[in-house]
A and B are shown apart, each in its own frame.
Chain A
Amino acid sequence: ILNVEQSPQSLHVQEGDSTNFTCSFPSSNFYALHWYRWETAKSPEALFVMTLNGDEKKKGQISATLNTKEGYSYLYIKGSQPEDSATYLCASPFTGGGNKLTFGTGTQLKVEL
């Protein structure tokens, strides 16, 4: 069974703190790694799609890195704000044919004032 694991399950930080979470996946079946942010009562919002080992992507104060050889990706948030509170999900296709994403269970981030 090909699984995507995320840690930690939840995180409480103070406004202004920087934080990071981990997504682990089997390196032997790697095609791509997707990151999403999912705020309550909204649709999951795509953050990044990463494919190359060593890839680093940035969107505002959020950045992500990818290590396909060891099977992990890190998501960093610099200077967290309350509006960053959301569940952050990573997902991988495990197949080159189509868009069948296997999702991790997510990291729930709560940023407090």
Chain B
Amino acid sequence: KAGVTQTPRYLIKTRGQQVTLSCSPISGHRSVSWYQQTPGQGLQFLFEYFSETQRNKGNFPGRFSGRQFSNSRSEMNVSTLELGDSALYLCASSSDRYTDTQYFGPGTRLTVL
């Protein structure tokens, strides 16, 4: 079974630009969650999509948005990039419930200059 894939793996952008990251979950998984990892804040939850609907949302500004497609692939978008958005963005897929294991992808390293 293929694992969680994320593209691109690395990205360099400048302040004010926008960026779109993609995540393909494990086949059959309908839940995709996104996390931001920074050295100072650790892993922080951004949002979760389940069956094309946002099911949970973290405490991030509206510049961070996402969506999920009918094949469960998910994208997250960050608009008007700030220096502080430089981070590793991880997505995780799981079947459905909070007792199900979440499987993480390799992440996208975003650098904002």
Contact = CB atoms under 8 A, between A and B. Distances in A.
Contact of A46 (B58, B99, B102): B102
Which size bracket describes the interface of A in this complex?
A: 20 to 34
A99 B101 contact: no
A95 B56 contact: yes
B62 interface: no
Give the secondary structure class of B's interface.
strand
B3 to A, nearest CB: 8
A111 interface: no
A54 to B, nearest CB: 16
B39 to A, nearest CB: 10
Contacts of A51: 99
Interface in A40-90: 42-46, 49, 51, 89
A99 B43 contact: no
Given A31-B98, A103-B42, A43 B106 contact: yes
Nearest to B54: A98
A98 B90 contact: no
B64 to A, nearest CB: 15
Nearest to B4: A43
B105 A99 contact: no
Contacts of A104: 42
A89 B90 CA distance: 15
Interface in B11-70: 31, 33, 35, 42-45, 48, 50, 55-56, 58
Given A91-B43, A93-B98, A105-B42, 20 more contacts: A32-B99, A34-B101, A42-B106, A43-B3, A43-B106, A44-B43, A46-B103, A46-B104, A49-B100, A51-B99, A89-B43, A97-B98, A98-B55, A99-B33, A99-B92, A100-B56, A100-B58, A101-B33, A102-B45, A104-B42
6 contacts: A46-B103, A51-B99, A97-B98, A99-B50, A99-B97, A101-B33
Interface of A: 31-32, 34, 36, 42-46, 49, 51, 89, 91, 93, 95-106
Interface of B: 3-4, 31, 33, 35, 42-45, 48, 50, 55-56, 58, 90, 92, 94, 97-107
